[in-house]
Amino acid sequence: MYKLQDRTRILFAGVFSLILALGIARFSYTPLLPLMQHQAGLGVAAAGWLAAINYAGYLSGALIATLISDIVLKDRLYRIGMILAIVSTAMMGLSSDFTVWALSRYIAGMSSAAGLLLGSGLILNWLIRHNHHSELGIHFSGIGLGIAFSAGAVSLMTHWLNWSEQWLMLTLLGCLLLIPALRWMPSPDRSMMTRSGQKMEDAPPGTLFMRLFMLAYFCAGIGYVVSATFIVAIIDHMPGLSGNGALIFLVIGMAAAPSCIAWDLIARRTGKLNALILASVFQIVGIMLPVWSGSLIAAFAGAILFGGTVMGLVSLVLTMAGRYYPTRPAKMMGKMTLSYGAAQILAPIVTGSLALRSGNYETGLYLAGGAMVIGTFILLVLRGVEKREASQLAQSRRRPVNPVPLANG
């Protein structure tokens, strides 16, 4: 039997874990929502609560990730999270009780944090330890693949299966993904040395850099969640575009899948901060295109630009965060995710209020685009802060250490 190289096998463990924990356990809810409203009587308000509960579970998982330092415990919780992804998906299909659904969405949110943060941290730790490029583009492509997988699977199954049968079929598909997600993930290593004999040391950024970095990621969270949450409704309510919302969602997922790898390659040439700035500019255009032009071509172009940058931003930010803490990458990843997740809770509330006043969700896109403009400006400032901190660090290393004078006598 052909044996995959270790690096490829481990990266694909991450890909399968994200398709399982995010694509199936978390994002399947989006394309199945209209069917559950039609067949299972799920109300609009209840649907919103389930989405909020899912975010709460995700933030709970991110908080846990920031508090754990032991890599063996992280590995154990990652594996539990993958199993819970299966359990939460089955719960949706085995019951029509709102309380069970709410518990399922909370568990699914926690399992997605296990795949996105703990799994990413374990893989990045292994890459650094084995002297590979500390890049997670291939791993994070699992998010886009997961979105495309869930959208495509639901579109196919809707012709033959009802809402509950689709959840159970997704559970079976998830069981297949569970095998490589668990078997191919490397065993944790507590040693503080790389394979080439270099010592692994954490080098956290300065306080100002960290605060600005989290604020920029908060703005990116607004840009992401408004478009990701309301894009289907926005497209379906635009003249001449009705019925194309689900297709646009699928295009976003397909564009997101290879984008993380592409942004890794761009970052090698430009540096990660410059790549983040470039991705942010493209994402602003992608968010605003449906508003600037009501044509289907503009909607597709916007979906490609949005999908092609949103996961790239996540990949670049979390990779940067993990590189500051090579011995415990999930620590700063979790902090960044708390900032990103806070935006995911606040922005839909503000967007909903704006929609009530204006009668449409388009003002929400202006909010998302405006937040991304602010975030891009912060990244430009951050580039200067990074240079200043690097210069200060270099000067401190060159400065001679004064010898301690010996006492007389």
Q: Which of 189, 223, 243 is the last residue of a domain?
A: 189
Q: Which of 167, 189, 211 is the last residue of a domain?
A: 189
Q: What band does 394 get if pLDDT is binned at 50, 70 and 90?
A: low
DSSP summary character for residue 406: P
Both 169 and 293 in one domain: the answer is no
pLDDT tops 60 at residue 408: no
Both 355 and 217 in one domain: the answer is yes
For residue 18, what pLDDT is reported? 95
Both 125 and 90 in one domain: the answer is yes
Number of H helices, E strands in the chain: 14, 0
**pLDDT digits 0-9 by tens, 167-192:** 999 999 999 999 999 999 988 766 66
SS3 199: strand
> Of 368, 297, 285, 314, whose CA–CA distance to 146 is shortest?
314
For residue 325, what pLDDT is reported? 76
**pLDDT digits 0-9 by tens, 274-306:** 999 999 999 999 988 877 877 788 888 988 999
Whether 17 is in a domain gets the answer yes
Both 236 and 384 in one domain: the answer is yes
pLDDT tops 60 at residue 407: no
Both 121 and 222 in one domain: the answer is no
Both 111 and 241 in one domain: the answer is no
Both 286 and 184 in one domain: the answer is no
Q: How far apart are CA 390 and CA 163, in angstroms?
A: 54
The structural domain count of the chain equals 2
Both 269 and 232 in one domain: the answer is yes
Whether 408 is in a domain gets the answer no
Whether 2 is in a domain gets the answer no
Whether 405 is in a domain gets the answer no
**For the chain, how are helix, strand and coil distributed in percent, rounded to 5?**
80, 0, 20
Q: Which of 146, 162, 189 is the last residue of a domain?
A: 189
Most confident segment among 282-291, 325-334, 354-363: 282-291
Whether 1 is in a domain gets the answer no
Q: Please give the torsion angle defined by the CA atoms of residues 358, 360, 362 and 367, in that order, rounded to the nearest 10 degrees.
A: 60
For residue 196, what pLDDT is reported? 58
Whether 404 is in a domain gets the answer no
pLDDT tops 50 at residue 107: yes
Both 126 and 210 in one domain: the answer is no
Q: How far apart are CA 354 and CA 170, in angstroms?
A: 35
For residue 409, what pLDDT is reported? 35
Q: How far apart are CA 74 and CA 341, in angstroms?
A: 20
Q: What band does 340 get if pLDDT is binned at 50, 70 and 90?
A: confident
Q: How far apart are CA 144 and CA 314, in angstroms?
A: 11
Do 372 and 287 meet the contact criterion of CB atoms below 8 Å apart? yes
Residue 78: HSE in the Cβ half-sphere, 13 Å Cα cutoff = 30
For the chain, the residue count is 409
Q: What is the pTM of this model?
A: 0.79
pLDDT tops 50 at residue 228: yes
Whether 65 is in a domain gets the answer yes
Please provide the average confidence, as pLDDT, over all residues in the chain: 83
Q: Tell me how far the alpha carbon of residue 190 is from its chain's centroid.
A: 26
Burial class (CB in 10 A: 0-12, 13-18, 19+), 362: middle
Q: How far apart are CA 287 and CA 307, in angstroms?
A: 10
Both 174 and 220 in one domain: the answer is no
Q: What band does 402 get if pLDDT is binned at 50, 70 and 90?
A: low
Whether 195 is in a domain gets the answer no
Range with lowest mean pLDDT among 153-157, 247-251, 317-321 = 247-251
Both 267 and 170 in one domain: the answer is no
Q: How far apart are CA 333 and CA 346, in angstroms?
A: 20
Q: What is the extent of the structural domain holding 299?
A: 200-397
What one-character-per-residue DSSP string does 55-116 give? HHHHHHHHHHHHH---HHHHHHHHHHHHHHHHHHHHHHHH---HHHHHHHHHHHHHHHHIII
CATH code of residue 378: 1.20.1250.20
Both 176 and 275 in one domain: the answer is no
